[in-house]
Structure 1
């Protein structure tokens, strides 16, 4: 509701030809929900860009260029570990970069230890800012579905998930669609499922969502 009021206010300012611009970011399913409103129909004409996953070489380049500008450096093992932890997730790139930078305050060279200490804080922030809010919008059955997927170290076979849940293929297909619409999982190929968000499997495994 607050977002819709904000968008409506912005639209009024545009109609009054005020010098204003609007840049918004969010999960695709959230944006689709916002665009479906009558009062926000003008947003459907706005340019949309899907960030997707950040390639590993772009992550490494971002670290190197930022540090070069600041006349600092990073150990080769440290930058490789940072890229592993980020896993291509744009928000995690921002979080880990910021926290690692702070951990290395006063040092000319960022170390593996700086990255690991920064990761502990960044991963906690990722859970509280993104994962907690995501799970709060899911049902108990949704979470049980995710727990069944989390038993696999990599992508899950849809048939295996159905077997673990002791549910029909129709039940699994229904929840698969719900979770895909919510931006939580994706299907890279027929009959295969995987988590859309890096680190989310670990979050589900450790039960960080409390009573869910």
Structure 2
């Protein structure tokens, strides 16, 4: 079939032709916005899940819903930046949101006050000790200038929330890869949203991240579990997986045989990204607008090769030899979460020796801890990939410290 008509989108964060199986989350987000706009409190949310389950796609859908409801959207992908760069990124986005809420020439007293608090938030001292500002609005005094990220961001979001409420609008802060926020940054966001909830302001923070983010949020602020819901999204159930595979094809006039769908769902195990990748490869092989089981079988090799060279490989390439060995040992033990002591035994070490390696892999977003003492891959089927990519488990030699002279 013509590749130009291929309806599948195996790209990071790319929205599929149809968003299947996420109705509960989108409905919850719509209720969240409506309640906040009416001055009623509602828990914000942080979506968690493994790689490839559609967290970014869902955030993109939330962005469309928010803009359609007349809300301003602040959105970015978190990365490991120092607080100053995080502050700069927020300032730039919040400044744009404020100007969209109301042009400068039409600012009310609340709009101007929000701008002044934003200016105070942006002021910084460079190495020479001189003051610099990012726009020509004089900074407020005593608001947004405490030098504490949490207190400053609380002042900013409160002021902008008041300006938004006056305009009958709201501000939605959507952040992807939340697990990469520094503890101070996550704490500041939670603290500031807590205050806007108390003030009944139309401001919300919705994040998406790997499964460990729920624990990180709780560590940042003990009340996070009451401030947020933590919906976890996973692979699609059988019916939704079939729909996600067949509906895009049907829109282009192509039909799957029943046994072809059975095999495709079995291969992908219902993971949305895998469905898009397999569907894409099958489309390029099939002929005459009818997709057979043989087409799916023939496409499987190209599907696995594409996943290995991109989705999986890019993560393995960042690992050190010892980190690679740790993940290979986990794969040797099976797809389930693995106990740290069992992995250490395979690598001929004890758990304390490998504790730093395990922590590094968690910080890199390659592992998470579903329960105490256990670790699991954040990427579905990564164990199978490790067995293919590293056919033999090589135990690295123990690096012994040189004795002090």
Same fold (TM over 0.5): yes
Q: How many Å separate the matches in 1 of 2:275 and 2:176? A: 16
The size of the alignment, in residue pairs, is 204
Query: Which structure 2 residues correspond to residues 94-113 of structure 1 after superposition, within 5 A?
Result: 94-104=276-286, 106-113=287-294
| 1:137 Cα deviation after fit | 2.6
Match of 2:299 among 107, 114, 118: 118
1:67-109 Cα offsets, whole Å, 9 max, x none, are 33334321222212212222343322221222222222x4232
Separation in 2, partners of 1:127, 1:23:
30
Determine the structure 2 residue equivalent to 1:76. Answer: 258
Q: Which protein has the larger Cα radius of gyration, Structure 1 or Structure 2?
A: 2
Q: Quote the Cα distance in structure 1 between the aligned partners of 2:283 and 2:310.
A: 20
Distance 2:90 2:302 in 1: 33
State the TM-score, normalizing by the size of structure 1.
0.71
Counting helix residues as a fraction of each chain, which structure ranks higher? 1
What is the root-mean-square deviation of aligned Cα atoms in Å? Answer: 3.9
Provide the secondary structure at the position in 2 that maps to 1:123.
Answer: helix
- Structure 1 residues 51, 130: CA separation in 2 closer, same or farther (over 3 Å shift)? farther
- 2:312 equivalent to 1:131: yes
Query: How far did 1:164 drift?
Result: 0.7
2:344 to 150, 156, 162: 162
Q: In the aligned structure 1, how far is the partner of 2:245 from the partner of 2:356?
A: 41
Farther off after superposition, 197-206 or 186-195: 186-195
* C-alpha displacement of 1:149: 0.9
Please name the residue that 1:67 is paired with: 249
TM normalised by structure 2 equals 0.41
Distance 2:358 2:185 in 1: 22
**Counterpart check, 1:17 vs 2:112:** no
Deviation at 1:170, TM superposition (A): 2.0
Q: Report which structure shows greater RCO (CA 8 Å, sep ≥6).
A: 2
Cα distance in 1 for residues equivalent to 2:89 and 2:262: 41
Distance (whole Å) between structure 1 residues aligned to residue 281 and residue 95 of structure 2: 39
Structure 2, unpaired ranges of 5+: 1-78, 80-84, 102-171, 194-203, 209-230, 392-405
Whole-Å separation in 1 of the counterparts to 2:267 and 2:347: 30
